[in-house]
Chain A
Amino acid sequence: MALNPIVGLLVLILVFVAVVTVVLAARHRLAFRIAIRNVRRGRARTALLIAGLLVGTTIVSGSLVVGDTVQTLTYHYVYLGAGYVDESISATSESGGAAYYPYSVYGEVVNLTAGSPQIAGITPMVVDAASVYDRTTGIPETDLNLIGVNGNQSSHLGSFIADNGSSIAGPSPGHVFLDDQAASALNATAGDSVIVYGVAAVPLVVQAVVQENVRGAFITAGLTPGNVFVTLSTAQGLENQSGKINYIAVTNTGSQVAGAASSSSVSAYLNTTLAGVLSTYGLSVKTPLQTALEQETTASQSIETLFLVLGLFSIVAGAMLIIGIFVMLAEERKGEMGMLRAIGMRRRELVYSYYFEGVVYSTGSALAGTFVGAGVGYVLIYLVGFLLRGEGIPQSALLQSFTVTDQSLVIAYVVGFLLTLVTVVVACRRASRLNIVRAIRDVPEPRPPVRTYTFLAYLGAAGVLLGLLLLATTLRGTGNESFPLLGGALAILGCGLIAARFVKNRYAFTATGLALSVWAGYEPLHTYLFGTSHSTTLFILFVVGILLVGGVLMVVLFNADALVQALRRLLGSRADSNPVVRIGLDYPTRQPGRTAVGLTIFALVVFTMIATAAAGSTVEGSLNDAVNAQAGGYSFFGVSQVPLPHLWSEISSNQTLAPLFENAAPLVAGAVRVAVPGYSSTQPYSDSIYAPPANATGPSSFLATNQFPFLSTLNGMSGSAAFEELAADRSVAIVDGSYSQVSNAFSTTTSSHPTLTVGTQIRLTTPAGTRATNVTVIGILTESIVGGVWVNPATASAMGYDNTSAYFLTVAPGISTSFAAQEAKKAFFPAGLVLFDLRGLLAQSISTTEGFIGILEVFVGLGLAVGIAAMGIFALRAVAERRREIGMLRATGFTRGMVLRSLVLEYSFVTLAGIAIGVGLGLLVIYNLSTGPSAASEGVQVFVAPWVTVIEVAVLAYLLVLAAIAAPSLRAARLPPAEAIRTSE
């Protein structure tokens, strides 16, 4: 197996760290011995430390495992769907399906490629659509895949496996195989008598129901719609294409993996060898398996990145916790360290002793975190399956796809180890700079000398220069918007450091915090300075989040005293006289280091959770708003193989159907090529054309029944005026929303889709290129679920479009859409009517989005563990180091309840302040994004604050913190005063 270069590099770094550690340990044995003794002297504390330190690794590991699993799952479906078809040879028909060509082409391909060692087999096929009526069960099913293939020509594609486990080469003449999906839809079993409808209808017998293996799940990957397998001649007869095929499957030698790997060279070989045949019949060679694998690799990497970026907040929170833990450890050992320094131990030795201790903790926590992360990944996958149940992918398939690769474990371990170690070393360097006397006497460190501020001012000046340089070079253009944001932030921080040399820290850093908050949080400033051409990735959420949280925390922490005073005034004189309130609020404000760590952790974690929830609710809100726009007031969009120009009169005269529907508007439909001036990519664009029949009235009139809104219209005319003009003017057209490149959950515009504005003249050409016309676009619809160009019926007729084969239908109030669809499909089965439940499709999108957001919320919620662990550890430490103070308070008259309440108030203050900052900023960031200049193009129409989630998160976080601090607080309250005063920690 080839070694991934990133893994190789990480392993090299790990080996380097190990070698350096061994060399240092050999040279500084005393420091090493002290470190090992410190690790061993409190096993419970060591376990607690490792538990606190493993969070970062857990996040990395969990993200990678989710990515691995998604990739395995998608590969599973790709391999199922592609089967052993490594390359396909086909052409696109005018209608967008696969065009038929003579069977003799297959013979030519076989002859020309004979002897190629990379090709294992070539199979001629028919791939089309069909409907089936099961005469035994009486159930019809439309829109199934028809696959015509001979068993004796397709051995390289693998065997069908019947539900009884037997292996079968292929269907016999007069018989049909149904895959599990199709059989389920028809409630069919082997032996059933069915009629298969293509262009013609053929009665057949179900020979077997086949499993969704690489053969049976061809195209569908085991998902809906199902497959119908018949012999090649049966398929040719069904489609009235005797002597023709429309698909040649090429199977490469070796396994599916090997076949996909050699697909590039085989397709190049086929393009060269078959050049003449391909050009004669307009055929092209495609690499379905390799292409799909590449697409899915990108998709799973995107999901992995999404989880990692959102996990970054938790990683930062975890790093803050590590710093907090080690600073506390250093405080606890200040006396010991002072004594060691007093008896001659050098500062460097102290750092080494912490370094060695950090290596031990990092090694343990990274190892534990890697496996805990894998467990977290499993839980997430389980939840994905649970939340998305009933939406296609079975939970069992998800769980079977659960994958933990060696590579991910190594990356998670090394990244987690280094992350922890670097944070530990930074924390230790600070801890080792203690003054011997102050350490022994436990006197607080004084304000740093002026020269420290001078040094910081120079550092600040460098930051300003660097920041301005970054800002100037990235201010405009199409680069990532994170860069100018970071540039400006660096300049602001630099100014703060310079200012701290001349004015009080409080003034310097309050101004810096305010400036950072405005810089990161005031969206119009970004639009004004950066323009709207920058690209935005998810990473910007992290950048904005960190800058905003950092800015607000600076303001809060450097003004904590004033804020507490204000809070006391707000609470009134009774609170001011309350010693519990005094003590509870004074500890957090007068221990700024620890409060900063706690606040930062909570603010970051809650920020991520709320931002994720707000993004979800905003997207869901936009989806809900988009439902009517996309559905246009209709329930179904339908297509039929046989034109049904009088669908409404047929429905209204049918006793069963009449009460079920309130309108049915037919449309002339077909395929069209659209040329947009100035649009260079993929010209002309293949699309659909629709025309409402001129003579339709009342419930059968599209013009009278549709409620489609417009994104824009020529000269600002109303939507109904635009449709009226379409009905009257042959030279105008209306296009769907994808022509404006507005994305939404129901259709994804691609860069190959042409864009235009109203007033643009476009050229429409029939697929064969025989007829063409120019039309002016007078309106762009909001909807894009039924994509295409709407034209005047006379225009359509002049171009040869006269098949009334598309429909919009609305069910009557109170009628179930599934019931109405079932009855309509039964009634119009011979015409091959297929109905798409517009609201159902939309509801599925919303449900999928909700599910995915739910998973993300759970994932980012892992960070909550950091905050809770932090508060628990801080409370534990507080009780240990404040024993004498608690004893003194008890001696002075504090009751047990007052001790308990003061500790609860202290941690409540930090927690609730962190939650408030996180909630406020999380909502602000998503509000900015959802009302920013790029929001509309992303399909976001409205900001929806997730108040229920906000309350849930706030209450859950607060209750969990209360639970975490309960034990140490109760212990503090139960301390016997005499013992507390007498004993030091």
Chain B
Amino acid sequence: MPEAVVVGREVWKVYGSGDTAVPALRGINVEIFQGEILAVMGPSGCGKTTFLNCFSGLDDITRGQVTVEGTDIHGMPDAKKSEYRARRTGFVFQSYNLLPILSAVENVEMPLLIAGRSAKEARAESRSILTQMGLGDRLTHRPSELSGGQQQRVSLARALVGHPAIVWADEPTGNLDAEGSHQVTELLRELNRQYHQTMVVVTHDAEVAAACDRTLRMRDGLFVS
């Protein structure tokens, strides 16, 4: 039985307070195992992105406990949480969120630099992973000079370059056409095979979910299957 990397117990996330309080997560319990690709599906507004934000440490929870690799991430001070994100996690977003002022290779090397690697090492590893993703001829291009699929691949490279324990992907194919979506899904699988990283993919694309090891469905802030 693989080890649970992420464990959530009675996790609540409530936006607002009093009469305007909106519970986005309603005491969910979940375990995510080492090396698996977990798909989280559900209709819009069911709490998928909130789940990702809370379990990755991007957002605070209202109640409950989230432990990642045995550590309660919500008990950490902000600086520790930032360090944890820099060293142990990677993120992929629907809208890529690349820094427009940086080239592809500069975007990818940013997490390595934040994690304290030297500029030379960071550049070499970034070149390598981008080349592996078929972007060897786009290293110095700015995001505005890349297609959507290429930008998402750069985004993936940025998430994976530091070999994080967990990669959190929020609708990674949401902005892509069928071809681009297929390429990114294949790439996720390939990288998972290669690096054995845990991946959590929030999606409502059935094809993406089908390519994952396990699928959890959400409704109204709870996992229903």
Check if B176 is an interface residue, CB within 8 A of chain A: no
Are B99 and A885 within 8 A (Cβ)? Answer: yes
Are B144 and A890 within 8 A (Cβ)? Answer: no
Contacts of B158 in A (CB 8 A): 892
Rounded to whole Å, the gap between the CB of B171 and the closest CB of chain A is 12
Contacts of A828 in B (CB 8 A): none
Rounded to whole Å, the gap between the CB of B67 and the closest CB of chain A is 19
One of A884, A888, A889, A897 near B79 (C-beta < 8 A): A897
Q: How large is the interface on B (under 10, 10 to 19, 20 to 34, 35 or more residues)?
A: 35 or more
User: CB within 8 Å of B: which of A928-985?
Assistant: 976-979, 981-982
- Known contacts A573-B119, A576-B119; A981 and B144 CB within 8 A of each other: no
Residue of B nearest to A576 (CB): B119
Looking at the complex, which of A293-301, A421-429, A586-594 is the stretch in contact with chain B? A586-594
Per the bound structure, the CA–CA distance linking A977 and B49 in Å amounts to: 13
Encoded as 1 (CB less than 8 Å from any A CB) or 0, chain B from 59 to 82 comes to 110000000000000000011001
Are A444 and B144 within 8 A (Cβ)? Answer: yes
One of B53, B87, B114, B117 near A894 (C-beta < 8 A): B114
Q: How many inter-chain residue pairs (CB < 8 Å) link A and B? A: 90
Are A888 and B91 within 8 A (Cβ)? Answer: yes
Contacts of B106 in A (CB 8 A): 582, 586
Are A976 and B59 within 8 A (Cβ)? Answer: yes
Check if B110 is an interface residue, CB within 8 A of chain A: yes
One of B89, B93, B113, B118 near A981 (C-beta < 8 A): B93
Per the bound structure, the CA–CA distance linking A884 and B144 in Å amounts to: 16
Rounded to whole Å, the gap between the CB of B205 and the closest CB of chain A is 19
Contacts of A977 in B (CB 8 A): 58-59
Are B101 and A579 within 8 A (Cβ)? Answer: no
Residue of A nearest to B158 (CB): A892
Per the bound structure, the CA–CA distance linking A444 and B145 in Å amounts to: 9
User: CB within 8 Å of B: which of A866-902?
Assistant: 884-885, 887-898
Q: Which of B83, B95, B99, B111 neighbours the largest number of chain A CB atoms within 10 Å of its CB?
A: B99
Contacts of B144 in A (CB 8 A): 443-444
Contacts of A583 in B (CB 8 A): 99
- Known contacts A443-B144, A885-B97; A893 and B79 CB within 8 A of each other: no
Contacts of B83 in A (CB 8 A): 893, 895
- Known contacts A577-B113, A579-B110, A890-B82; A884 and B101 CB within 8 A of each other: no
Check if A111 is an interface residue, CB within 8 A of chain B: no
User: CB within 8 Å of A: which of B96-116?
Assistant: 97-102, 106, 110-111, 113-116
Per the bound structure, the CA–CA distance linking A891 and B158 in Å amounts to: 11
- Known contacts A443-B144, A577-B118; A888 and B93 CB within 8 A of each other: yes
Tell me whether chain B's interface is mostly helix, strand or loop, or mixed.
Answer: helix
Contacts of B117 in A (CB 8 A): 577
Q: Which of A590, A884, A978 neighbours the largest number of chain B CB atoms within 10 Å of its CB?
A: A978
Are B58 and A893 within 8 A (Cβ)? Answer: no
Per the bound structure, the CA–CA distance linking A591 and B142 in Å amounts to: 13
Are A888 and B99 within 8 A (Cβ)? Answer: yes
One of A444, A582, A591, A897 near B110 (C-beta < 8 A): A582
Check if B153 is an interface residue, CB within 8 A of chain A: no
Check if A715 is an interface residue, CB within 8 A of chain B: no
Are B101 and A893 within 8 A (Cβ)? Answer: no
Per the bound structure, the CA–CA distance linking A583 and B114 in Å amounts to: 11
Per the bound structure, the CA–CA distance linking A813 and B152 in Å amounts to: 85
Contacts of A891 in B (CB 8 A): 56, 58, 85, 89, 91, 97
User: CB within 8 Å of A: which of B31-51?
Assistant: 49
Check if B199 is an interface residue, CB within 8 A of chain A: no
User: CB within 8 Å of B: which of A891-933?
Assistant: 891-898
Check if B86 is an interface residue, CB within 8 A of chain A: yes
Check if B122 is an interface residue, CB within 8 A of chain A: yes
Rounded to whole Å, the gap between the CB of A971 and the closest CB of chain B is 15
Residue of A nearest to B53 (CB): A978
Rounded to whole Å, the gap between the CB of B14 and the closest CB of chain A is 14
One of A590, A895, A981 near B58 (C-beta < 8 A): A981
Contacts of A680 in B (CB 8 A): none
Are A892 and B114 within 8 A (Cβ)? Answer: yes
User: CB within 8 Å of B: which of A806-828?
Assistant: none
Tell me whether chain A's interface is mostly helix, strand or loop, or mixed.
Answer: helix
- Known contacts A577-B119, A582-B110; A892 and B85 CB within 8 A of each other: yes
Per the bound structure, the CA–CA distance linking A889 and B97 in Å amounts to: 9
Rounded to whole Å, the gap between the CB of A625 and the closest CB of chain B is 53
Rounded to whole Å, the gap between the CB of B83 and the closest CB of chain A is 7
Are A982 and B49 within 8 A (Cβ)? Answer: yes
Per the bound structure, the CA–CA distance linking A591 and B97 in Å amounts to: 18
Are A893 and B85 within 8 A (Cβ)? Answer: yes
Are A896 and B58 within 8 A (Cβ)? Answer: no
One of A587, A885, A888, A895 near B82 (C-beta < 8 A): A895
Residue of B nearest to A984 (CB): B95
Contacts of B111 in A (CB 8 A): 892-893
Check if A751 is an interface residue, CB within 8 A of chain B: no
Contacts of A887 in B (CB 8 A): 97
Per the bound structure, the CA–CA distance linking A590 and B58 in Å amounts to: 28
One of A573, A888, A895, A982 near B78 (C-beta < 8 A): A895
Per the bound structure, the CA–CA distance linking A978 and B178 in Å amounts to: 28
Per the bound structure, the CA–CA distance linking A878 and B114 in Å amounts to: 22
Check if A578 is an interface residue, CB within 8 A of chain B: yes
Are A888 and B97 within 8 A (Cβ)? Answer: yes
Q: Which of A444, A885, A887, A893 neighbours the largest number of chain B CB atoms within 10 Å of its CB?
A: A893
Are A896 and B78 within 8 A (Cβ)? Answer: yes
Rounded to whole Å, the gap between the CB of B165 and the closest CB of chain A is 13
Contacts of B110 in A (CB 8 A): 579, 582, 889, 892
Rounded to whole Å, the gap between the CB of B111 and the closest CB of chain A is 5
Contacts of A591 in B (CB 8 A): 101
One of A577, A582, A981 near B97 (C-beta < 8 A): A981
Residue of A nearest to B50 (CB): A978
Contacts of B116 in A (CB 8 A): 577
Rounded to whole Å, the gap between the CB of A324 and the closest CB of chain B is 18
Contacts of B56 in A (CB 8 A): 891
Contacts of B114 in A (CB 8 A): 579, 892-894, 898
Per the bound structure, the CA–CA distance linking A978 and B144 in Å amounts to: 24
Rounded to whole Å, the gap between the CB of A151 and the closest CB of chain B is 85
Contacts of A895 in B (CB 8 A): 78-79, 82-83
Rounded to whole Å, the gap between the CB of B53 and the closest CB of chain A is 4
- Known contacts A577-B117, A590-B101, A892-B158; A884 and B95 CB within 8 A of each other: yes
Of all A-B residue pairs in the complex, the 5 with the closest CB atoms, nearest first, are A893-B86, A978-B59, A978-B53, A888-B97, A590-B101
Known pairs A590-B101, A889-B110 / 8 extra A-B pairs, C-beta < 8 Å: A443-B144, A577-B117, A579-B113, A885-B99, A885-B100, A892-B158, A893-B114, A894-B86
12 contacts between A and B (CB under 8 A): A577-B113, A582-B106, A582-B113, A888-B93, A890-B85, A892-B158, A893-B87, A895-B82, A896-B78, A896-B79, A898-B82, A982-B49
